[in-house]
Amino acid sequence: MKNSMGNHAIFYQKKGMYILNTTNLLQDIQLNYNQYTKTEKKIADFVIGNVNRVLFMSITDLAEASGVADASVYRFCRNVGAKGYQDFKMKLSFSVSSDETSVAETENVKIDSLEYILDKILQNHISVLKETRMLISQEELRKALQMMEAAKNIYFFGIGDSLLTAKEARNKFMRICNKVNSIDDPHMQAMTASMAGAEDLIFIISYSGATKDNVYVAEIAKKAGAKVIGITHFIKSPLTSYTDVLLVCGSNEGPLDGGAMGTKLSQLYVIDVLFQEYYARNKQISVENNKKTSRAVVDKLY
C-alpha cells in the first residue's frame, strides 16, 4: 500500500503493537507516535520539532535536550528501525533530503552558478575556521602542549576520514621530533593503547566523538594509565568521558556529509596551532631536527 505522501508503507507487529513503516523515518515517527512510551514521546517530540538540529547533535546532546538518558535514545533509535544512533541520523537525513528534493523539483530551483559556488565554499571554509578559533580553549591548548613536551611517545589515532588528519599530524610533527606515530588499523590502535603507560600520550581525532573504535581505544588507553587528548566537535560525547584534554573544532557535519572538507580544515587548524606553538616553545631542537629531516629527503627532489 501507499500512504498519502506517495511513499510505500507496510504494517508490521512489534511488541504487540501494529507499526506503520514507510520509507520516510520522520513520517514513521509521526504516524506511530501514539504507540510510544512516555519517554519515547519526549524524544519524538524533540526530533519532530528540531529535525535539522538533530542531524548535527551527538547522542548525549539529544538525550539532554529531550530530558532522557543516553540509553533511552539508543533504544528509541532501535525501536524505529535504525541499527543505532548514527544510522538513525542517516535515515532521518534521507527523510529531510527527500522532502527538500521534492520542493526543489516543484519550484524548479535554478542550479547555482560556478561563481556562486566558488564564493559560497570560500565563505563556508572561512566560517569554519572562525568558529574553531572561537570554540577552542587556550587553557586546553596549553595543557595539550605541556603533555606533548612531557610525553615519551605521542600517537595520533583516527578512523575513516579522521585518520587522514591523524596522518597529517604525524607527518608535520615527525619533522621536528622523533616521538610521534600514527597507526591505521583499529585493532593495532587498541593493542598499542593497551601497552601504553603514564609517559605516553594519545590523540583521538573524531568529529562525532561517538565512533565505537575511537571510544574503545580511549577507554583502553585510560585504563593503561596513558594521557588522552580528544579533537572533536562535541563537548559531550562518549569520547570525552575518557579525555584529559578536549580541543573543540568547528564545522557542522551532517550524516550525509561524512569527510566534509570543512571538518578536515577545522581539525587541521587545531593541529597546525599545536605544531607552531610546539615549534616555538622548543625552537632550538625543532630547528635542528627540521634541518636533519629536510636533508634526509633533499636528494629525492630534482
How confident is the model over 279-300, as pLDDT tens digits? 999 999 999 999 999 988 877 7
Residue 22 pLDDT: 53
Buried b (16+ CB within 10 A) or exposed e, 100-128: eeeeeeeeeeeeeeeeeeeeeeeeeeeeb
Helix or strand run (H / E) with residue 37: none
Give the pLDDT of residue 5: 42
pLDDT in tens, 152-198: 999 999 998 899 999 999 999 999 999 999 999 999 999 999 999 99
The set of residues, in sequence order, having a beta carbon less than 8 Å from that of 107 and lying 6+ positions away, is none
The pLDDT assigned to 108 comes to: 43
Work out whether strand 17-22 and strand 9-14 pair parallel, antiparallel, or are unpaired.
Answer: antiparallel
Q: For residues 155 and 202, is the Cβ–Cβ distance under 8 A?
A: yes
The predicted pLDDT at position 186 comes to 96
Q: Do 167 and 264 touch, CB atoms closer than 8 A? A: no
| Residue 128 grid cell | 569554519
pTM of the entire structure?
Answer: 0.73
Question: 18 CB contacts (<8 Å, ≥6 apart)?
Answer: 11, 12, 35
Q: Which residues contact 128 (CB under 8 A, 6 or more apart)?
A: 250, 251, 262, 263, 265, 266
C-alpha cell at 45: 517530540
The parts of the chain modelled with pLDDT lower than 70 are 1-23, 97-112, 252-259
